[in-house]
Amino acid sequence: MTRDQRKAAFDLLAGERILVMDGAMGTMIQGYGLDEAGYRGERLKDHSHDLRGNNDILNLTRPDIVEEIHRAYFEAGADIVETNTFSATSIAQADYEAEHLVTEINVEGARLARLAADKVQEENPGRICFVAGALGPTNRTASISPDVNDPAFRNVTFDTLVASYKEAARGLVEGGADLLLVETIFDTLNAKAALFAIDELEEETGVHLPLMISGTITDLSGRTLSGQTPEAFWNSVRHARPVSVGLNCALGAKQLRGFLAELSRVAETRVSAYPNAGLPNAFGGYDETPEETAAEIGAWARDGLVNVVGGCCGTTPDHIRAIAEAVKDVLPRKVPEPPRRMRLSGLEPFEVPA
């Protein structure tokens, strides 16, 4: 099946049922208990900087682990898996002195996910599996100063973000991703840079991939880290015409519901959500069981809030299996058609009356 055929299949399936994404990659990798040597592998045994904790580097040093995790999520019922590239930008990889490996990390990340997808499809005739090329937020913010004594200071520029995202996205396209996912957005200006980079890449290559966008409400104030409400966030990114917009990370399903409902009310596209397995405990772990997470997400589905669901931090194939079961007989949210208006945003949304 070609990429264009999978794109058409995605639209068809998304119209028929709620699609299921995978769960946490980092949580699963932690279960392998890799030490520094485990992260380095033979390929990077002499690398100049510690690599432990750099999950994306495993695309190069332990591809068997990465493919195994992708396969586990597909077998649990996921329709879409995200590439293991959350921090595979030159900005984030600079912490490990691995900037020169960014293109290869992204190419291999997409290739491994596609390999797992193809194997599962071959074993299950008629099934279609999708790969979302993940573009994370980087570890810098274009809107907020990291120095409380100098509010005007920024440790990254918009142009630097664009160049970094473009390099990563190019690798994901080359490696075989079906969609691009700009995710865990805590700063909308960072996301704007990613969207601009994707537009430039499409103009250069002529390859257009469906776009998913997912923001992060950082706490119960109901705002992103850079201060936007869900509706204001949507107004800021709707020009990109994504196939879905949604929320992920930071909160569990129970805490996320109200903010998801706000986004679902206004977004004239599909809505996605993949929460954490509850809130972290005192040790930074997650205690919410698959049944608890699935019960909350099943309620979202029955109330018509979502089109795509999955899990973020702390979730496992068991969570995804339970979520898939909870939504399997529920129709997807009907995408609204709001009247045409000028809709603007700062920290709050603003709609110009007709």
- What pLDDT, in 10s, does the model give residues 107-159? 999 999 999 999 999 999 999 999 999 999 999 999 999 999 999 999 999 99
Beta strands in the chain (DSSP E): 19-20, 80-82, 130-135, 179-185, 211-215, 244-252, 270-276, 308-309, 342-345, 349-352
Question: What domains appear along the chain, each with residue ranges and CATH number?
Answer: 3-352 (3.20.20.330)
pLDDT-based confidence at residue 13 (cuts at 50, 70, 90)? very high
Q: What is d(CA 228, CA 215) in angstroms, rounded to the nearest whole number?
A: 10
Angle, helix 188-205 to helix 230-237, in steps of 10 degrees: 20
Residue 261 CB neighbours (<10 A): 15
- What pLDDT, in 10s, does the model give residues 161-177? 999 999 999 999 999 99
Q: What is d(CA 21, CA 247) in angstroms, rounded to the nearest whole number?
A: 13
- What pLDDT, in 10s, does the model give residues 179-233? 999 999 999 999 999 999 999 999 999 999 999 999 999 999 999 999 999 999 9
How many Cα atoms occupy the beta-carbon half-sphere of 292 within 13 Å?
Answer: 15
Tell me whether residue 129 is annotated as binding: no
Element (H, E) at 26: helix 25-30
DSSP-assigned beta bridge partners for residue 135 = 182
pLDDT at 293: 98
Range 142-161 burial, b when 16+ CB lie within 10 A, else e: bbbeeeeeeeeebebeeebb
pLDDT at 287: 95
> What is residue 309's three-state secondary structure?
strand
Q: What integer is the mean pLDDT of 43-69?
A: 98
Q: What is d(CA 149, CA 298) in angstroms, rounded to the nearest whole number?
A: 46
Q: What integer is the mean pLDDT of 59-70?
A: 98
Q: What integer is the mean pLDDT of 70-82?
A: 98
Tell me whether residue 249 is annotated as binding: yes
Q: What integer is the mean pLDDT of 263-276?
A: 98
**Closest by CA position to 197, among listed 133, 146, 104, 109:** 133
Task: Tell if the pTM clears 0.85, that is, is over it.
Answer: yes
With a CB cutoff of 8 Å and minimum separation 6, the contacts of 107 are: 171, 172, 174, 175
Tell me whether residue 313 is annotated as binding: yes
**In 151-289, alpha helices (H):** 158-175, 188-205, 230-237, 253-266
Distance of CA 241 to CAs 26, 100, 237, Å? Answer: 29, 32, 8
Tokens of 219: 């706490």
Asked if pLDDT for residue 259 goes beyond 90, the answer is: yes
- What pLDDT, in 10s, does the model give residues 290-313? 999 999 999 999 999 999 999 999
How many Cα atoms occupy the beta-carbon half-sphere of 82 within 13 Å?
Answer: 29
Average pLDDT of the residues of the chain: 97
pLDDT at 354: 76
DSSP code for 280: B
Q: Is 88 exposed, middle or buried (0-12, 13-18, 19+ CB in 10 A)?
A: buried
Q: What is d(CA 312, CA 114) in angstroms, rounded to the nearest whole number?
A: 20
